[in-house]
Structure 1
């Protein structure tokens, strides 16, 4: 078992999500930075799809009831195990009853804590991921929660260190226009692809809200709700783009001007990060 001593601002159980259920109104969910979760699992000897903990900015503190191995990846943060400083990106042995403290992120937003055996909460539709929008999976963690772990099936990875780099201050995001770029003026498309936007504090696992040049519409009518995919750049009535992330809704009524083909960099983008979209013009 893992005891949650300090849950932090937002700590959730995440794996690689539950793809394939959009037709039932269920988004993929899963880790916003899947590469970081995969690495954490590999370091402790887990299969990559095992569930771990995703923290947000302030980290978390957990207690292992039995001796085990953990690893922390993703956003760089101070880590202490049983009162001693430990390294990000390495397997760490934890004694029975030992505290694992993940501090506030020095850079980036989300850290990932994997434990040998994985977090073994009950799966929903084949995944243990917390979905903040639909409420599927376990609720966000609170102080005092207890989480079961699964059986250890392999030894930790024999590595001395892993490489990590701070996220860039400017994110360059590839996009494909459509499906509703025809609802926007040529000027709107030029602004989207030719100006910079900023990640705002009103961002979460559902989507990253941006601030920048307003995207004027060519169509003033209402759009019936239609399917939404990961990375969809939806434009609400205020004309400011919103990029949908892992916990996005599966339908929406505002037009989607483009789709970001790789949203992973947004997982570690703090408010104030500059975003530039790149893609073919009309």
Structure 2
């Protein structure tokens, strides 16, 4: 079995797949890629099943020694990527000889995803290879990568490559770059009195944000509290703590909470929230259920077209 050696880990690089589903009744978070679509399309580009495990890279990526030729793909926000010093593009299959893969700082966003043909062969824990950082299990010993880690790669067809990287001229973009603004998140408001006020204020992503959720910084809303009866929450739930600064729950979110709920960000916008850097502005746009369903269908249609386009080119 092929193994990659982590020479330096980056700021926070974790093994993730599409997440751990069906266990929330036991208090177990979904985990998984913060933007499941981005990782799914990266897997498609290298010929994997969309459920295969890859790497999620935050802020700055790792340096990895490739022991043999392999095929990878990078999606998400633009990342400074090189093989033995040679610049690599994103959004397409990359056939790389053995050598050093260096993934540097990310530009204009917070996270990127890497898939490798064969997938990362991490242990399956509760039906997923994803890292649960809060729970300390899954992925690579339940933690972010550190220097010296060895990443096992699953079986894949041999890559025929010369002494330099090979890749096609075509590429994909998971989001439509002409219409998507990651600073706008659409949500279904709850019946809480402050739910609609959320849309009338300008918020900024707080530095104290992580995979559990994005904390928002702004003028504050009334009606927050922490003494309510704990109720189920999910990825995308907007909570209102006592300080009036909302929290948008993300992949590693807890399963219940006592804070009032302002509503729920629609699933196809959560990948945008995963890219919010500390201090960046974010606006909330209320939608009704019919609009949310239409947006979900539009997103699904776009992904279907991408799958067809990738299949035709590979």
Tell me if TM exceeds 0.5: yes
Report the secondary structure of 2:195's partner residue: helix
Structure 2 residues without counterparts, runs of 5 or longer: 161-166, 289-314
What's 2:229 paired with?
Answer: 224
Instruction: Name the residue aligned to 1:122.
Output: 123
Cα-to-partner distance string for 1:37-63 (whole Å, 9 max, x where unaligned): 112111211111110111111111111
Cα separation, 1, equivalents of 2:75 and 2:286? 31
The structure in which a higher percent of residues are helix is 2
Count of equivalent residues: 273
- What do the CA deviations read for 1:108-138 (whole angstroms, capped 9, x no partner)? 1111111111100101111101112222313
1:133 corresponding residue in structure 2: 134
1:253 equivalent to 2:269? Answer no
Cα distance change on mapping 1:220 and 1:115 into 2, 3 Å: closer
TM-score normalised per structure 2 = 0.80
Distance (Å, rounded) in 2 between the aligned partners of 1:170 and 1:43: 24
SS of corresponding position for 2:15? strand
| 1:228-266 alpha-carbon deviations (Å, 9 max, x no partner) | 111111111111000000000011121112111131211
Unaligned runs of 5+ in 1: none
Aligned to 2:88: 86
| Match of residue 199 from structure 2 | 193
Matched, 1:20 2:22: yes
Q: State the 1:221 CA deviation.
A: 7.5
Equivalent position to 2:151, from 147, 150, 154 = 147
Distance 2:146 2:40 in 1: 24
Partner of 1:173: 185
Q: Cα RMSD over matched residues?
A: 2.4
* C-alpha displacement of 1:166: 9.3
Summarize the Cα distance change of 1:222–1:45 in structure 2 as closer, same or farther, 3 Å threshold.
Answer: same
Aligned equivalents of 1:167 and 1:94: distance in 2? 33
**Residue aligned with 2:40, SS:** helix
TM-score normalised by the chain length of structure 1: 0.89
Q: Deviations along 1:185-237, whole A, 9 cap, x unmatched?
A: x4x334212122111111111000001131111x8682122211111111111
